[in-house]
Amino acid sequence: MRIGIFPAIIGRQGGGVETYEASLVRALVRLNADCEYHVYCLGQPAVDAFELAGENLSYEVLRPSARWISIPFSLPRAIARSNVDLVHATFVPPFRCSVPLIVTVHDVCVHTHPQLYPASIRVRLNYLVYKRLKKFAHIICPTQVSKELVIEHFGVREDRVSVIPEAVEPEFRPVHGDQLNAVLDKYGIRYPYFLFAGNLRVGNKNLVRLLEAYKLFQSQFGKEARLVLTGRRSWQSHVLDEAIDRLAIRESIVETGWLPPEHLPALYSGARALLFPSLCEGFGLPALESMACGTPVIASNLSCLPEVTGNAALLVDPYSVEAIAEGIGNLFQNNSLHAELRAQGFSWVQRFSWARTARETLAVYQRVLDA
């Protein structure tokens, strides 16, 4: 089987989607040496970010570097030249494809929560993905919630959508001692602290309410615990700054920016808890990454997060500042609850592996070719 893969985000500090692209390709290449994988990349940084080579793997860098030219024009030609049996687009599909096309639809948040996204993002994803869903040979979703929304909102047949969960790399494990302290010192982080991890998108990540809840927590428990925000800023950065200044909490906030993946396990490990009260998610990888590092999670009780976290997280109403603050306070002062969630998290995260994700993805490839 000759498989073409088009990863659109890797090499761009793209958060969970970038992690998915990198980890899936690595797991696929390790899984089956009989398959050939041809990866179409939007620039050399994408190739470099995979950190992967193999006899059954080849890369093609699309030219020119301008995405708005490469995706509609260069990519279809590259697919035709490479003589692959099918193509898997892990985020944005090509405009034309001469072979069966499988697309990963991580979420439909832009469609179900349009008020949380800029018009430019809404228009692009509606045009590139959502309006074309019925044309794809198969759709992969990371959660049952996303699958049901794809079927409900876009009329796709159920047998053409598969749920394949994402996972956590083995590097995500508890970090202690000098290794932990070296990373915290690098970013000026002191104990105790709570952590938010993910792209700093104010809308779907619910960051303003998170900051308001943290301020309310401070008023009840003092200013001992800091809030660390890690991730690349995205649109509406001014709203984040305005909220921090309005709440007068800037001295209690540590913002690290985008972090190299090798630093993340330490930041998770040192945190009292991960705060993840998103309004809408496709999967929510930081929740599983935090559990794998032994750090409890406070997550939203909406979207896919109850499905992804099972009974191993403290779920709160993301629209209630008071509920989020109460959750933070509970994990700050209740050591028994903290230990219980830590143990449940370790157990729950064992259900997920990239090897499983690769096996189930490969089965979809075979099913499409056999149809």
Q: What is the mean pLDDT of each run of 10 residues along the chain (371 residues)?
A: 95 87 95 90 94 92 90 95 96 93 94 84 81 93 96 94 97 96 96 94 92 96 92 85 96 94 96 97 96 98 96 97 97 96 97 96 96 86
The predicted structure's pLDDT at residue 33: 73
What is the number of other CB atoms lying within 10 angstroms of the CB of residue 301?
Answer: 16
Give the pLDDT score at 358: 97
Close Cβ partners of 2 (under 8 Å, ≥ 6 residues apart): 35, 36, 38, 82, 83, 84, 85
Looking at residue 124, its pLDDT comes to: 79
Amino acid at 37: Y
Residue at token pair 């301008």: 66
pLDDT at 369: 96
Distance of CA 353 to the CA centre of its chain: 15
Report the DSSP beta bridge partners of residue 161: 139
Q: What does the pLDDT read at residue 54?
A: 86
* Residue 220: closest CA among 322, 365, 110: 322
Given this chain, do its domains 2-167+353-370 and 177-349 carry the same CATH topology?
Answer: yes
Enter the pTM of the model.
Answer: 0.94
107, 149, 284 from 152: Cα distances, Å: 13, 5, 22
CATH 3.30.70.60 fits 2-167+353-370, yes or no: no
- What percent helix, strand, coil does the chain show, rounded to 5? 50, 15, 35
Supply the DSSP symbol for 73.
Answer: I
Residue owning tokens 């929560």: 113
Q: For the chain, which residues make up each domain, given as ranges?
A: 2-167+353-370, 177-349
Decide: 165 and 253 in contact? Cβ < 8 Å. Answer: no
> What pLDDT was estimated at residue 86?
98
Question: What residues contact residue 128 under an 8 Å CB cut-off, 6+ apart?
Answer: 92, 93
CATH code linked to domain 177-349: 3.40.50.2000
Distance CA 111, CA 114 (A): 6
What pLDDT, on a 0 to 100 scale, did the predictor assign at position 223? Answer: 80
